[in-house]
Structure 1
Amino acid sequence: MIIARLRYWSDANVLLRAAEALIWINEARPGMPGDGDDVQALIQVNAQPQTMVKMDPSGHSEEAIMRIVVTTDGSKASEAASRYVARLASDLAKLPQVLLVYVDEPLLQRVAVELGVKGVDRYHQENGKAVMKGAKSRLKRAGINYEEHLLIGDPAEALLKFVKKSNCDVLVMGSHGRSALKSLFLGSVTIKVLSRSEVPVVVVR
């Protein structure tokens, strides 16, 4: 299942054929159904393969290189997210620019003190290397150039801050992280990001 939070109805035109459902959360925006913060509209779609385009303010489209932020944490859902991006590349007129992101949570203060600055840095670098290995391999096989970004902090907050500064077109993430209960429809981090992201979000299960 692919779930996307969109800013405008026209954003549906830039989703990959694998998209099965669109979810609007929070405020209604121009061109979208709904009339307030309580709107949560679920619309089933069958998207066909198409060239990825951007719409300029005048409504004209132009081919552009898409900037995609894809998150990973080693979970099955996040691995599915990187596979989704690898498939997406084959349907685009131009290969996307991908920013691969992993957010490592901070160590407890007492542990950080014991390890020291260099030890803490080494700990996070090793975690990042291990977690991003699978996604990196997948993107390389698809011929996609990517940037690695290791962030430290609260997963949702750090990711939202990064996305805001990245000037990306879309965020792709897994529905559940490693610690999320599988019985939940979406993990807590995903829900926070969906409700606050200022860019379209594609959630992959």
Structure 2
Amino acid sequence: MRTVLLAFDGSDSSKRALQYVIDFAREYNATLELHLINVQHEPMVYGEYMTGDIIEQVGNSIRAEASKILEWPAAQLAAAGITYQTHTALGNIPEQIGLAAKKLGCDTVVMGTRGLGSFTGMLMGSVATRVIHEVPVPVLLVK
């Protein structure tokens, strides 16, 4: 595990995944190239009254929110002395995580699981399960 993509959505499980990476780096004195990503769904456009400017403004607002979500984990990584880069993306979450892992040359993806339970997970599908199928590298899931 050298080049790591840490998918962070602000949930408790993603906070535990962040702590896992920090603890791993400390315990094994590992030098990691860490990429921190937050993926947001693209805005849904309904109706005929949305101009290109409005759609762009909404997209910029969503990207700003994604960047804001990454402020806390970035501060935790800096305090732990781990260098990192932050990334945001819009679109299908598992697909965007897979594309980022490929583009950034990551050898591992680390992310939390929300633990929806088997019934809810069966109905909604699990983002983590879809990431496992999208990404060609090992995925470490933290509960």
Query: Shorter-chain TM-score: which interval?
Result: 0.7 to 0.9
Which structure 1 segments of 5+ residues have no match? 1-13, 15-65
For residues 138 and 102 of structure 2, the distance between their equivalents in structure 1, rounded to whole angstroms, comes to 12
The TM-score with structure 1 as length reference comes to 0.60
Q: 1:136 aligns with which of 74, 91, 103?
A: 74
User: Shift in Å at residue 94 of structure 1?
Assistant: 4.1
Say whether residues 1:104 and 2:48 are aligned partners: no
User: Shift in Å at residue 97 of structure 1?
Assistant: 0.9
Q: 1:153 aligns with which of 91, 99, 105?
A: 91
Give the equivalent residue in structure 2 for 1:75: 11
Change (3 A) 1:121 1:173: same
Say whether residues 1:113 and 2:50 are aligned partners: yes
Give the equivalent residue in structure 2 for 1:198: 136
Whichever of the two has the greater Rg, that structure is 1
Give the equivalent residue in structure 2 for 1:183: 117
Give the equivalent residue in structure 1 for 2:20: 84
Amino acid at match of 2:20: Y
User: Structure 1 or 2: larger helix share?
Assistant: 2
User: Shift in Å at residue 117 of structure 1?
Assistant: 4.5
Q: 1:162 aligns with which of 93, 100, 112?
A: 100
SS of 1:113's partner is: coil
The TM-score with structure 2 as length reference comes to 0.83
Number of residue pairs matched? 137
Report 1 or 2 for greater relative contact order, CA contacts < 8 Å, sequence distance ≥ 6.
2
For residues 87 and 61 of structure 2, the distance between their equivalents in structure 1, rounded to whole angstroms, comes to 15
For residues 123 and 101 of structure 1, the distance between their equivalents in structure 2, rounded to whole angstroms, comes to 17
Contact between 1:89 and 1:142, CA under 8 Å: does it hold in 2? Answer: no
Amino acid at match of 1:78: S
Aligned-pair identity in percent equals 26
Say whether residues 1:174 and 2:108 are aligned partners: no
